[in-house]
């Protein structure tokens, strides 16, 4: 695959999409970015530490068993902090190309700026720019990979990361109780919880029907908290990609996605959210994802197995091994699909030549 552009903003005004972003027909969007659905529940967390805890827990459990996705309001993250984090994120992607590229993370760097994704071996690129950095454990922070522009970024994102970690642990506590475990069980299973912040910027796209902002996937970690603007573009499926819904943006809400690790710890009771992001030609879109993941050495195995059930994992494995297997499988599936496509093209070219052979036979 030819190398993609260094920034998307440099090619966003082109009349057509570069071939590196064009997806196969079966991977292209099936519904529009603004064709909203209200099936994903919006849950108020007001009273979660008091008399409403059991009621809220029931709503969260229903959502996790149904979709693996829900939205929360009244979550305790101050509106002013959310607004400031959003303002700074928009300002970063508005910087000149050379400023963003000072934090280029290509070549295996841990954190910084890149187009599409830091994953190696991608067959097709996603239509997004990202800036990402690791915020927990605090001892592992590498501030050289955190943007120093716009002014105030580091201070605000430190506070934001702390608040989001607190919210994630609060939600994991409710899910632990729903599994019949102590409140801290899921958090303890993560050992020394990682937190990665990924700020996504999806510029206006010349041909949004041919590409995705973020390809279909499940998150590998425990729980993800996503702040999105009001444009729309987050989509979810629960039938293997046959049908999709676009999640209705709710001002000030966090979209909560359960990841693979949470799915395994619950022995499959709670779904790992199957989702993607689509783009459009009218508006750019911004979202800020905060991923809470277990430490690499954390053991992945069901914490609670209900009567009559069998473990969904054959044996305990580390999170590092679980992640390695997931990435290897994803890349292998992409490789096989590419080979099948190339073989199809070869056979088509061969078929076109057959009549010519008959004429000269």
Please choose, from the candidates 77, 293, 97, 88, the residue with its C-alpha nearest in 3D space to the C-alpha of residue 199.
88
Beta bridge partners of 320: none
Residue-wise DSSP of 227-285:
EE-SS--EEEESSTTSS-EEEPP-TT-EEEEE-HHHHHHTTTSSPPPEEEE---SS--E
Please say whether the dihedral angle defined by the alpha carbons of residues 135, 171, 163 and 102, taken in this order, is positive or negative. Answer: positive
Contact by Cβ (8 Å): 290, 236: no
Token code pair at residue 250: 């709710």
> Do residues 70 and 63 make contact, with C-beta atoms less than 8 angstroms apart?
yes
Contacts of 45 by beta carbon, 8 Å cutoff, 6+ apart: 56, 72, 73, 74, 75, 76, 170
Residue reference for tokens 């969904």 = 312
Residue 213 sits at φ, ψ, to 5 deg, of -75, -35
**Angle, helix 79-93 to helix 153-178, in steps of 10 degrees:** 120
pLDDT score of 3: 55
Pairing of strands 245-247, 36-37: parallel
Q: What is the pLDDT of residue 1?
A: 46
3-state class of 136 per DSSP?
Answer: strand
Q: Which residues of the chain are modeled with pLDDT < 70?
A: 1-5, 118-121, 342, 344-345, 347-361
**Exposed / middle / buried, residue 337 (Cβ in 10 Å: 0-12, 13-18, 19+):** middle
* Residue whose C-alpha is closest to residue 235's, from 89, 28, 18, 63: 28
- And the tokens for 205? 């796209």
d(CA 253, CA 229): 10
Bridge-partner residues for 71, per DSSP?
A: 42, 255
pLDDT at 88: 96
Residue 41 three-state SS? coil
pLDDT for position 354: 60
86 contacts 286 by C-beta, under 8 angstroms: yes
Distance CA 261, CA 271 (A): 10
Provide the whole-model pTM. Answer: 0.91
What confidence tens digit (pLDDT) does each residue in 81-106 have?
999 999 999 999 999 999 999 999 87
3-state secondary structure of 79: helix
Strand, coil or helix: 306? coil
Which contacts qualify for 2-10: CB closer than 8 Å, 24 or more apart? 4/115, 4/116, 4/125, 5/115, 6/97, 6/101, 6/104, 6/115, 7/97, 7/100, 7/101, 7/115, 7/129, 8/115, 8/127, 8/128, 8/129, 8/201, 8/203, 9/93, 9/97, 9/129, 9/203, 10/97
Lookup: tokens for 325? 């297997």
12-31 b/e (C-beta count within 10 Å ≥ 16 → b): beeeebbebbbbeeebebee
Residue in the structure block whose two tokens are 């999640």: 247
Please write the tens of the pLDDT for every residue from 183-225. 999 999 999 999 999 999 999 999 999 999 999 999 999 999 9
**pLDDT at 314 (0 to 100):** 92
d(CA 267, CA 311): 6
């Amino acid at each position: 695959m030819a190398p993609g552009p260094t920034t998307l903003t440099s090619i966003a005004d082109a009349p057509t999409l570069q071939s590196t972003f064009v997806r196969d027909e079966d991977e292209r969007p099936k519904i529009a970015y603004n064709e909203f659905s209200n099936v994903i529940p919006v849950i108020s967390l007001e009273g979660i530490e008091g008399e409403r805890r059991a009621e809220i827990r029931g709503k969260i459990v229903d959502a996790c068993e149904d979709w693996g996705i829900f939205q929360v309001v009244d979550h305790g993250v101050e509106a002013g902090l959310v607004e400031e984090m959003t303002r700074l994120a928009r300002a970063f992607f508005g910087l000149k190309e050379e400023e963003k590229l000072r934090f280029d993370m290509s070549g295996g760097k841990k954190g910084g700026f890149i187009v599409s994704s830091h994953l190696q071996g991608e067959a097709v690129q996603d239509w997004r720019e990202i800036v990402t950095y690791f915020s927990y454990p605090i001892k592992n922070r590498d501030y050289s990979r955190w943007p120093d522009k716009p002014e105030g970024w580091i201070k605000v994102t430190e506070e934001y990361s702390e608040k989001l970690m607190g919210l994630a642990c609060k939600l994991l506590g409710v899910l632990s109780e729903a599994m019949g475990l102590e409140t801290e069980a899921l958090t303890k299973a993560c050992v020394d919880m990682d937190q990665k912040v990924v700020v996504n910027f999806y510029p206006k796209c010349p041909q949004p029907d041919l590409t995705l902002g973020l390809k279909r996937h499940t998150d590998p970690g425990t729980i993800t908290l996503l702040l999105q603007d009001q444009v729309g573009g987050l989509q979810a499926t629960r039938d293997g990609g046959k049908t999709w819904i676009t999640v209705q943006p709710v001002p000030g809400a966090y979209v909560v996605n359960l990841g693979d690790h949470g799915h395994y710890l619950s022995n499959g009771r709670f779904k790992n959210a199957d989702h993607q992001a689509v783009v459009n030609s009218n508006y750019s879109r911004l979202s800020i994802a905060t991923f809470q993941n277990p430490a690499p050495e954390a053991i992945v195995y069901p914490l609670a197995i209900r009567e009559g059930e069998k473990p969904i994992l054959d044996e305990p494995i580390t999170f590092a091994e679980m992640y390695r297997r997931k990435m290897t499988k994803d890349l292998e599936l992409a490789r096989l699909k590419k080979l099948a496509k190339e073989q199809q093209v070869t056979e088509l070219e061969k078929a076109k030549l057959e009549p010519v052979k008959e004429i000269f036979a």
